[in-house]
Structure 1
Amino acid sequence: MGNIQVLDDHTINQIAAGEVIERPASVVKELIENSLDAGAKNIWIRIEEGGTSLIVVRDDGNGMDRLDAEYAFKKHATSKIRIFDDLQTVNTSGFRGEALPSIASISRLRMATAAKDSKLGTRITIEGENEPNIEDFATPQGTKIEVADLFFNTPVRSKYLKRISTELQHIVKIVTIEAIRRPDVAFNLEHGERKIIDAPKSDLKTRIGVLLGNDAAKELIEIKGDSEDFQIRGFLTKPAISRRTTSGLYLHINGRPVQARNVCYSIKGAYGSLLHDGHFPLGALFIEIPKIDVDVNVHPAKTIVRIAKEEQVNKKIRVVINETLAEHALIAHVDLSGSKTSFDSITAANTKTKPRQLNNIDSLQQEFEVDFHQHDVKETNMPTMRPLALVENKYIVALGLDGVFIIDFHAAHERVMYERLKEQMRFKRIGTQNLLAPISLELSKTETNAFERMLSEINDMGFEAEKFGPSSFMIRGVPALLAGSEPERIREAIDDVVESGSMKSAEDRHQHMMYTVACHSALRAGDKLTMAQMEFVIREMESIPNPYACVHGRPTVMTITPNELDKKFKRSGF
């Protein structure tokens, strides 16, 4: 007998099930996709013990007649495609014909289904690889599938399942993905007696609010763009609402939920420094590109796709998001729910407290009158406001037509200085201020080598630095923006520049130095501002393109609307 043999059906199904069904969440995903493809408008999901003991998915879709119900459990039997070329234009969620036979091969499964206007439905019961039991059954239009004892006949697989809470999290994620994808369909998820998700039919913005929370819902911006062979629709949060991972970002290509790491980073790149370092916005985007440019047949899970012109698509995404952000006042709302209101720390500009006085603060306007305003600058649509008071020498309280605004003046001024520095670099007009007392640096061998390699970059940034010994350097001048700072702040800035020498990328070093100069030349928390100086900070914010986040991605301004104050003071209805 030869060494190569054809595998029996049982082994083939077990292998296929291992690719398609990784955990209970995979079952839920496949069954929901079948319901959506069947035209369901309501989908009910019930699970027990994280889906390991029971998964029930019921819908009000088209249902199946007896013949289709029997064929549904045959390998690669599908209503979605007929020939290979159909894969180029497939519109349905599923198309491989693997899900139901794979699930049935590793569980105890029962399906009840009835087509529209049929007098009698069909019930099919399958236990692992046993022959199905098929019978007539009275059931309403739609399909109900019960999957019990998942992996009962593959104990090795069940051994690697995680805790119930972990498996439940994966199922919640899957239902969330599908519910965001189809806001026109109602979703209901229950775990035991506990209702986890109750998402009635709605529009996309409302659905995002139901599933991602009110904080995200209040800060959503509509994203909309069209060009040749490209369309993008959806909502993303303002920079103030973000996460360290892409878990709150739901991407769809031609209606299909996908994992697209490069697209996520393109979205992040469009926000630039408005986002906190390493963070991503929340929301959902629906991207339409020619179907022939997308390969959906990469993996049985169908969540990974290949895009033929990926860089072009990413560029178009960045342009649309960038332009949209530029059109909006990206001011987050202060969450007043459950917060305690205290005005004890609010100090008017003429307060008698004695915080640290600014060094040369009265010369602010003269100090910052570089050639910035001589060039065309795209102004923001930041609301007009006037300062009222200073809170703990950190926050400016201002009043505008849209309500009360709270400004973190260090973060705001840091952004102003960064935009000034960017503009000066664009026109190669960075000014240098000579120091009355040059600063001497004694560095380690590693720092010396790095600093020496960066010397030209450092001097291009407005510093005047030169080597003074084997491991020492003399700083004779600093960027003009730093000129009014105290000596210790200048020294801190230089130390931060030294730290950037460990960065491998020249672009990262350059960006770090720009952030450093902006941060150390900005007003600091604890500086006591006069009313005129607060006014100056606000006017400067209005003159730059991105005043809504500091260079580290922290928000610079938040608002409290009159409506929110009414709710807090329980004046609704008065």
Structure 2
Amino acid sequence: MPLIKKGDVVPDIIQLLPDNIANQIAAGEVIQRPASAVKELLENAVDAGATEIKLFVTDAGKNLIQVVDNGKGMSETDARMCFERHATSKISSIEDLFKIKTMGFRGEALASIAAVAQVELKTRKAEDELGSCLEVENSIVKKQEACSASAGTNICMKNLFFNVPARRNFLKSNAAEMRHIVDEFIRVAMAFPHIFFSLTSNGQQVFHLEAGSLKQRISQILGTSYTSKLVSVSEDTDYMNVYGFVGKPETAKKTRGDQYFFVNNRFIKSAYLNHAVMSAFDEMIAKDSFPMYVLFIDLDPSQLDINVHPTKQEIKFEDEKIVYAFVQAAVKHALAQFSIAPSLDFSLNADIQQMEAVSKPVTEERLESITSSNLFKTFSQKNQAHKIEGTNRSELRSWKDFYEPSAQPLPSDLGTETDTTNGQLEYTGYSLLKDEQKLRLLPDAVLTQLHGSYIVAPTQQGFLLVHQQQAHERVLYERYSEATHGKQMPTQQSLFPSTIQLSAADSVLIQELLPDLKVLGYLVEPFGNNTFVVQGTPADILQGNEKMAIELLLEQYKHFSSDIKFSKREKLVRCVAKQQAIKTGKTLGQQEMLVLVEELFSCKTPNITPNGSPTYLEFKADYLERMFGK
């Protein structure tokens, strides 16, 4: 850089960007992918008062996104102005910003879309004879003229990111982008059940949602299986209203997919409010499961700020704690009202009938021992039920002796095998085998199954305790991994192929996975209208369970989908292995246990599951002897 001498004139270097470049930069915040444009256009149609909204997409929105509505339409001047930045009909003063009740309000959606796509707009107000037709490209109006048009607005967005090829190259596959479009469509359609919505992709209708009640809309979108498993939530207060539906505990899934929060009919993401619902379901569902809910919060717009995020999916409440408490209380009240919340159970537990104290008669010696104790006397003498002798407190510690045979104390030197670390005992008598050379099953060893979950296998050094489900998961994982890198798994053709009806979102997902499923032995073919025919499954799947196997596989895949460090095929292999592994509680025969143990130790990594959990433990003979004081 040349030196600047005294007296030289330094040129100005700061300049205003041209409008088209400024619009493209602004579009990066609003239009990140085709689904972003879908969201903005659908929300504009809702704000226009439409009762029918139709969405058409081609190539997952990359080539075409078209929204047709029967709303109030626009005049010729408004049709031209709507493509200018910050042009809006919903805000006229700063005070309006804190009273927002519409979906779109910032006036950036159409300007951003026009900056990165070729847009054609046809619109007509109901009272006008002719409508307006505009063509905009790269923020420049190419054509504007009067035309015949239906009442409402018809907007086409073609060739997204045609003038920003780098952005277009970053878009994912059509199946992945279509899933995002379906998600955005569902969020808008769920919030306005009184409006008809339809979605057509590549000429095939994906959704046809007739106007109706919220419960009907939930069944239309999430499936009719929820119809009889919804619990109504309704709490009205002066501060806020909470209403909607939550699923019964048995509908809880391993994924968060069916969870929707709406504040003033706007979909939001809130881990804080999600925690409120989760706490209301505490102890009713498994810790790793998530309840289904569609909840609406009506609140004074002045009590929240919805302009804290470009996509408006994150909002800020004036008092989050009050909203949290209301949501939690509303869900708890709904579950209790429908007798779903846990209550006191006074019925006798069947396990009690099997206890020795109940099933076996009391001998004279035992009866004499019981009746001679001070504890028995305090509860049997007249007016003494409240009195407990204070001279021998240790007797209270052995109250279980009335019902259990006395156990021999453990040898005092057992403590040498344990080490105390932060109050936790660590047993060092077992170890994880590092390789298959350490396995030495006794000749003609007889394997034993414990609690339907573990296999005890005697070895020359002691015995192995094998977790049957995790061991089988490791075996299947390596088997399917080899199939994805070589010869595909054999498929067992179904004599009577079964059909499976999926939700629209799952339908898009399974179409993306069909080639990889075929490699793993699943032969699934599309049958139209979100229906698929299962022509064949891997030989391990029992005939008649094909439908359940596919549904569980999709659920497992969505559970893994948040982990970005694995490829799509790796996630699928892990899902299939986990889904097809024999479950705890399954009784195994002697030959089945032997085959499982042999297959486990023929694996490359036999000691852990794909996610790192141990498949077995080894208990050595010298440790067992020391446990018994030898």
Label 1:226 to 1:299 Cα distance change in 2 as closer, same or farther (>3 A). same
Q: Paired residue for 1:167, among 159, 177, 182?
A: 177
Structure 1 residues 107 and 436, CA gap change in structure 2 (3 angstroms) = same
Gaps of 5+ in 2: 1-10, 342-350, 362-395, 430-449, 455-583, 587-630
In the alignment, what sits opposite 2:365? none
Other-structure match for 1:360: 355
Question: Structure 1 CA distance, aligned partners of 2:184 and 2:297?
Answer: 20
Aligned to 1:448: 420
Q: TM-score, normalised by structure 2?
A: 0.56
Kindly indicate whether residue 310 of structure 2 is the aligned counterpart of residue 300 of structure 1.
yes
User: Within 5 A, what are the aligned runs for 1:123-202?
Assistant: 123-202=133-212
Q: Which has the larger Rg?
A: 2
Is contact 1:443–1:471 with CA below 8 Å preserved after alignment?
no
Deviation string, structure 1 residues 229-254 (Cα, Å, up to 9, x no partner): 02101011001112333321111112
Q: How many residues align?
A: 377
Tell me if the contact between 1:123 and 1:136 (Cα under 8 Å) persists in the aligned partners.
Answer: yes
The Cα offsets for residues 165-199 of structure 1, whole Å up to 9 and x where unpaired, read as: 01111111111111110000000001012111110
Q: Which amino acid is 2:220 matched to?
A: V
Aligned residue number for residue 69 of structure 1:
79
| Pairing of 1:2-401 with structure 2 (within 5 A) | 2-330=12-340, 360=355, 363=358
**For the residues of structure 2 that align with 1:364 and 1:322, how far apart are their CA atoms?**
41
Q: What's the counterpart of residue 458 of structure 1?
A: none
Kept in 2, the 8 Å contact 1:448–1:471? The answer is no
Change in Cα spacing, 1:126 to 1:319, as seen in structure 2 (3 Å) is same
Please give the secondary structure, in 2, of the residue aligned with 1:22: coil
Change (3 A) 1:237 1:470: closer
Would you say the 8 A contact 2:252–2:289 is kept in 1? yes
Hey, what does 1:436 align to over in structure 2?
A: 407
Give, as a single letter, the amino acid of the residue that structure 2 aligns with 1:321: V
CA deviations 1:390-417 (Å, max 9, x no partner) are xxxxxxxxxxxxxxxxxxxxxxxxxxxx
Q: Distance in 2 between matches of 1:204 and 1:364?
A: 55
**How far 1:102 moved relative to its partner?**
0.4
2:277 and 2:328 in contact (8 A); partners too: yes
Q: Is the 8 A contact 2:134 2:141 kept in 1?
A: no
Q: Which amino acid in 2 is paired with 1:140?
A: S
Q: Per-residue displacement from partner, 1:472-516 (whole Å, max 9, x unpaired)? A: 9xxxxxxxxxxxxxxx99xx9xxxxxxxxxxxxxxxxxxxxxxxx
Partner Cα distance (2:423, 2:410) in 1: 15
The structural deviation recorded for 1:126 is 0.9
**Conservation of the 8 A alpha-carbon contact between 2:281 and 2:332:** yes
> CA 1:471 to 1:10, structure 2 compared with 1: closer, same or farther past 3 Å?
same
Relative to structure 1, is the Cα distance of residues 193 and 470 closer, same or farther in structure 2, using a 3 angstrom cutoff?
Answer: closer
1:308 to partner: Cα distance: 1.4
Amino acid at match of 1:157: R
User: C-alpha displacement at 1:365, in angstroms?
Assistant: 13
Distance 1:359 1:47, change over 3 A: same
Give the superposition deviation at 1:151.
0.3
1:548-567 → structure 2 map (5 Å cutoff): none
Classify 1:442/1:228 alpha carbon distance in 2 versus 1 (closer, same or farther; 3 Å): farther
Alpha-carbon shift at residue 443 of structure 1 (Å):
8.8
Matched-pair contact (CA < 8 Å) for 2:417–2:427: no
Aligned partner of residue 400 in structure 2, secondary structure: strand
CA displacement at 1:358 relative to structure 2? 8.4
Identical aligned residues as a percent: 31
Code of the residue aligned with 2:53 in structure 1: it is: I
Task: Tell me the SS of whatever aligns to 1:266.
Answer: helix
Aligned counterparts of 1:42 and 1:361: Cα–Cα separation in 2: 70
Counterpart amino acid of 2:106? R
1:449, distance to aligned residue in structure 2 (A): 1.4
Amino acid corresponding to residue 422 of structure 2 in structure 1:
A
Shift of 1:35: 0.2
Q: Which digits, 9 at most, give the CA deviation of each residue in 1:414-458, with x for residues without a partner? A: xxxxxxxxxxxxxxx99963662345776987x721335xxxxxx
For the 8 Å contact 1:246–1:264, the answer to whether it is kept is: no
* Structure 1 residues 221 and 118: alpha-carbon distance in aligned structure 2, compared to 1, 3 A threshold: same
Q: CA deviation at 1:160?
A: 0.7
Structure 1 stretches of 4+ with a deviation exceeding 6 A read 429-432, 469-472
Letter in 2 for 1:267: V
Aligned to 2:512: none
Asked if 2 retains the 8 angstrom alpha-carbon contact of 1:219 and 1:237, the reply is yes
Query: What's the offset of the Cα at 1:33?
Result: 0.3
User: Using a 3 Å threshold, how does the CA distance of structure 1 residues 443 and 330 change in structure 2: closer, same or farther?
Assistant: farther
> What is the CA-CA distance between 1:310 and the residue it aligns to?
0.6
- 1:392 corresponds to: none
Instruction: Say if 2:31 and 2:37, in contact at 8 Å, map to a contact too.
Output: yes
Distance in 1, matches of 2:320 and 2:410, equals 49
Q: Is the 8 A contact 2:65 2:157 kept in 1?
A: yes
TM-score by length of 1: 0.61
Match of 1:341 in 2: none
**Residues 181 and 444 (structure 1), Cα distance of their counterparts in 2 relative to 1, 3 Å cut:** farther
1:201, distance to aligned residue in structure 2 (A): 0.2
Distance 1:269 1:57, change over 3 A: same
Structure 1 pair 442–183 and aligned structure 2 pair: CA distance change class (3 A): farther
Three-state SS of the structure 2 residue aligned to 1:12 is helix
SS in 1 for 2:86: coil
Change (3 A) 1:78 1:431: farther
Change in 2 beyond 3 A, CA 1:359/1:100: same
Distance 1:259 1:431, change over 3 A: farther
Task: State the alpha-carbon separation in 2 of the partners of residues 261 and 197 from structure 1.
Answer: 29
| CA distance 1:365–1:326, shift in 2 (3 Å) | farther
Task: Call closer, same or farther: CA 1:284–1:15 in 2, change over 3 Å.
Answer: same
Alignment-mate amino acid for residue 320 of structure 2 = E
C-alpha contact (below 8 Å) 2:76/2:132 kept by paired residues: yes
| Compared CA separation, residues 204 and 443, structure 1 to 2 (3 A) | farther
